Amino acid sequence: MLSALGDAVTEEELAATIPRASGGGVLSVDLLLAARQRGFSAALVAGDEDALAHEIGEGRPAILMLRLLDLPGHKGDVYHYVVVDGHDPGRALFRVQFGDGRARWTPLGRLEGAWKGAGHALLTLRAPPAFAQVRSALALEQAGRLDEAAREYARILEAHPESLRAWVNLGNVEAARHRPAEAEAAYRRALGIAPDQPEALNNLAWLLLEQGSRLEEAEALARAAAAQPGPDRPLVLDTLARVLSARGRCQEAETTLAEALAVADLLPASRSQLEQFRRDAASGCAR
């Protein structure tokens, strides 16, 4: 669904952010939160055929939750998610992806019993404001054309001041342009929209760390970012460890770095960076 709406995220990236339930599956609310963490508007509602047809008609796939097996007691029930990504009104058929790589056209009535058993749970997504424009500005940013990117983000935010991603990205660009006051203002606008947004929390913490004058606030921001799950957790823990080290709390910094290095599937470059800082921090504390 995210890919269809323009977010080229991989299954592996999502798997790193979505916690597993005790039975090995994934809770509906965690799917919803994962989409919101990526800047999308997500809703989990009791749907019907008209609501589903509307989503598909607007070009947005949707997720249905089905109860496939109803056994006595809740622990015996078996649930499954399916993605609906097509609708043929003339034949009253929907295209359903069951997860086996085969799309099936079927009347919704065939799924009604299983869908009803799951409370007609329907997960819908909306792309964030000005998503295409933000992607264009990001391309300028990644190409090192920072002045152009800053102007593009400013134009986007003039029309869409609620765009969380544009505020975070503008903060990143202003920081790269060595404009800390403007970067801080952009990150704080992002946090005004989403107080728990981990990238804004982490990047503002790093900005304050570089300035060196508000380390207590930097620590609070980094801790708030570290409380959020996600694939960037080692990066966030690195920020927190550096803030702790700057505050002279060497043992806490070491413990935080150890936690970051224990993250499964840590990229070699990230591991090397963490280990180098660990050596530098240990040397500084020894003195």
Q: Split the chain (287 residues) into runs of 10 and give each run's mean pLDDT.
A: 83 84 81 80 90 94 87 66 95 93 93 93 87 85 95 94 91 96 97 91 96 94 87 85 91 88 75 82 65
- Is residue 206 helix, strand or coil? helix
**C-alpha span between 176 and 196 (Å, rounded):** 23
Please report whether residue 85 resides in a domain.
yes
Nearest to 197 by CA among 237, 154, 152, 236: 236
Residue 63 lies in a domain: yes
Task: Say which CATH number the domain at 49 has.
Answer: 3.90.70.10
Name the domain count of the chain. Answer: 1
State the residue range of the domain holding 19: 11-126
pLDDT reported for residue 99: 87
Give Cβ neighbours of residue 225 (< 8 Å, ≥ 6 apart): 198, 199, 201, 202, 205, 236, 239, 240
Nearest C-alpha neighbor of 229 from the set 11, 1, 30, 17: 17
pTM of the model: 0.64
According to the model, what pLDDT value does residue 114 have?
93
Asked if the structure places residue 224 within a domain, the reply is no
Asked if residues 224 and 196 have their Cβ atoms less than 8 Å apart, the reply is: yes
Determine, yes or no, domain membership for 90: yes
- The predicted pLDDT at position 70 comes to 60
As a whole number of angstroms, the distance between CA 276 and CA 153 comes to 35
User: 163, 129 in Cβ contact below 8 A?
Assistant: yes
Asked whether the CA dihedral 267, 271, 274, 277 is positive or negative, the reply is negative
Residue 84 lies in a domain: yes
**Residue 257 C-beta-side C-alpha neighbours within 13 Å:** 24
**152 in a domain, yes or no?**
no
Residue 190 lies in a domain: no
Query: Domain for residue 251, yes or no?
Result: no
